[in-house]
Structure 1
Amino acid sequence: MAQENSTVKPTQAELTLLNVLWKMGPATVRQVHDVVSITQKTGYTTVLKILQIMHEKSLVIRDESNRAHVYAPANSQTQTQSSLIKDLISKAFGGSTSKLVMRAIDDSTSEQEINDIRQLLNSLEK
């Protein structure tokens, strides 16, 4: 039975495939495998099995109308990122968003990133 996808957190391998699907749009196992295999050694059957598990977990939807099934993310990248961040804030930062932000902003944060953050904070205050 499929789980509620808002509570299911994708594994690292699942996030890799989701990132491919968010970038490409709906794709077959072969298409996803071709992209993933550029940066890491992964077998076709491994990609197929992970996508099947992701379908069972309701992380992806599957179009079975053609011989080659086409997979697409069940949720947007933004929705998934928000869910993962909320979970991280709850588990690692005691529910404090400010603690997460303070930890994320360190000496390696570029001047451009700081300016982007400042603009975001200014727009939120308005």
Structure 2
Amino acid sequence: MKKSKKTIWFASEEFGIKKISSISDLETEIMKIMWKTGTATVREVHEHILKKEMEKKESGFIPYTTVMATMASLAEKGILKQDRSNKTFIYSAAVDSNSLSKNIISSVAEKLMDSSSKELVYKFLSAVEEIPVEKINKMLNDLTGKSNK
């Protein structure tokens, strides 16, 4: 089965608004690692991926060169920063996970703009796993700047 890819618009402070043709499962996994570690080399990211595969007992193997090419592509897209000052490139995230998530959701909403806002929110919420009301209220309060004090 072919894995799905999503088209998103991505805003990067350094590169402005840039269209991303797709974001794959591997790109997503690499970004999760980068957000967790802050900075990393290709080798370090590859080791994280291999460790995760072993923990999940997955049979797939992702070659080092695939991770290297994917990280270079993410840097070219403006999602990763690439420090080339040393022989070994050091990568870091160009944006945080909230910005990426917001842009993915904005892209989906833009595609569905024929729907009313109310209908769009309903579709989104019905597609999300059951979320406790307390968590939804906290998110709404965070968005509006209100606190539960």
TM-score using structure 1 length: 0.78
Q: Distance in 1 between matches of 2:97 and 2:33?
A: 11
Q: Which of 73, 85, 88 lines up with 2:108 in the alignment?
A: 88
- Report the aligned-residue RMSD: 2.5
Q: What residue ranges of structure 2 are gaps of 5+ in the alignment?
A: 1-14, 54-59
Aligned runs of 1:19-98 on 2, under 5 Å?
A: 19-37=32-50, 38-39=52-53, 41-92=61-112, 94=114, 98=118
Q: What residue ranges of structure 1 are gaps of 5+ in the alignment?
A: none
* Partner of residue 11, structure 1: 23
1:54-96 per-residue CA deviation (whole Å, 9 max, x = no partner) reads 1221111111122211111111111111111100111135475
Greater fraction helix:
1
Q: Secondary structure of the residue that 1:109 maps to in structure 2?
A: coil
Q: Distance in 1 between matches of 2:81 and 2:27?
A: 13
2:18–2:77 contact (8 Å) kept in structure 1: no
1:5–1:59 contact (8 Å) kept in structure 2: no
> Which runs of structure 1 show a deviation greater than 6 angstroms over 4 or more consecutive aligned residues?
none
Letter in 1 for 2:47: D
Q: Distance in 2 between matches of 1:60 and 1:8?
A: 15
Greater fraction strand:
2
Q: Distance in 2 between matches of 1:91 and 1:20?
A: 29
